[in-house]
A and B are shown apart, each in its own frame.
Chain A
Amino acid sequence: MDFSFSSGLRGIGQVVFYGLLSRVVDDVEFVGLNEMFSRQYVDFTAGNVLYFTNFDSRAKIGKSVVFETLTEINEKGIVEKYGWATQTKSDAIIKIFRDNHEWLLFVFLAGEMIDLIRSNPQYMERKINPYTKKEYEICRVPVNDLGHKTPIRVPIVGEPDVSAIRDVHEYISKYKG
């Protein structure tokens, strides 16, 4: 491994996913700090598949999963920066949470995430970022609405079962061709 990950909490999600994906795929590369890939919200390339990770440290599992649709809206209501959920060029988005003693990973295909956002305008929220003082927009999807999805559970200390990650990767890789 000749690369380093993002600092802070984002880095935790990236390392967790790298630790799992590198067990099932040989050619995983972290590109999240590369300017071009970072603008496209791509963290990893693995063969022909692109992945983006989003770590939600404070998420209350059992309530909601958040997708950021707009990052900065100025005081005139003009969008200055679009969010990762609408801009990512990744094939799959990995939402990572901590659920007590486990990491919990939800895998969304890019199209699936966009469908989820578009079909649920009632879940859109605007908030003020305390640091930039600017508004941002998120789509907060209740976990109950994701009952059809099975999250991947990984112990925070100990050997993981990576079969689900292998299935996900092989599926996307095959479907992309």
Chain B
Amino acid sequence: MKHSFVASNSIGGIGEALFYQFASKYLKKSKIEDVTKKKEWQKKGIDFRIDSIGYDVKFDTKATSTGNLALETVSKAKDGEVHKEGWAYTTEADCIVYATLVGLDWAFYFFTRNEILHLIDKHTDNRKSVYNYGYNSEVVLVPKDTLSHKKIALVPLIGNPKKEHSNILKEVHEYFVRRQK
């Protein structure tokens, strides 16, 4: 099968490739546009446009061991000065997709921008500074068990997702389409 979308070779590219495959398989009637390499959309933090809805895909391999989702509030800081704000503040996507590994499945969480900001506010005491090649970045850690009210789409690493899980993606997308209207 040929794909018009070529995922980057980075770790983040794994998340992009996963979400693209998941969406192309289960949102068959939708128009999926890869904008990962277009500067105008990169600036807005948008990876894919599906029926004009902007999706920003975040990929985290450590959420299983830490039990937290990490929302980046500062991307680059040096000597206490913020050089670049984190994606949690800068993304202009309608939907933030947070993909992580849970057991034998990929777990896809879906958030609106407001939800992300609300979570940062709620867990603001749970901040962590991360050293990253000469810079520091800062994340707010959100325990996964505080998100039990959310529907999570589980996709096995090998094989197809159950219908109820592929339906979650459809429901999420329909919600954003209705919201846009």
Contact = CB atoms under 8 A, between A and B. Distances in A.
A108 interface: no
Interface string A1-35: 10010011101100110111001000000000000
Given A4-B103, A19-B156, A98-B17, A58 B10 contact: yes
A160 B157 CA distance: 10
A47 to B, nearest CB: 20
Nearest to A15: B157
Nearest to A158: B160
Interface string B136-163: 0000000000000000000111111100
A154 interface: yes
B101 interface: yes
Contact of A101 (B11, B21, B64, B161): B21
B62 interface: yes
B65 A101 contact: no
B160 A15 contact: no
B101 A157 contact: no
A156 interface: yes
B157 A16 contact: yes
Contacts, number: 78
A71 to B, nearest CB: 21
B168 to A, nearest CB: 14
Contacts of B20: 101
A11 B61 contact: yes
A60 B6 CA distance: 13
A100 B104 contact: no
Given A15-B101, A58-B10, A58-B11, A101 B17 contact: yes
B151 to A, nearest CB: 18
B180 interface: no
A130 interface: yes
Contacts of B17: 98, 100-101, 156
A58 to B, nearest CB: 6
5 contacts: A11-B61, A18-B104, A60-B9, A101-B3, A156-B17
Given A7-B65, A130-B133, 4 more contacts: A100-B7, A100-B17, A157-B18, A158-B25
Interface of A: 1, 4, 7-9, 11-12, 15-16, 18-20, 23, 57-60, 98, 100-101, 130, 154-160
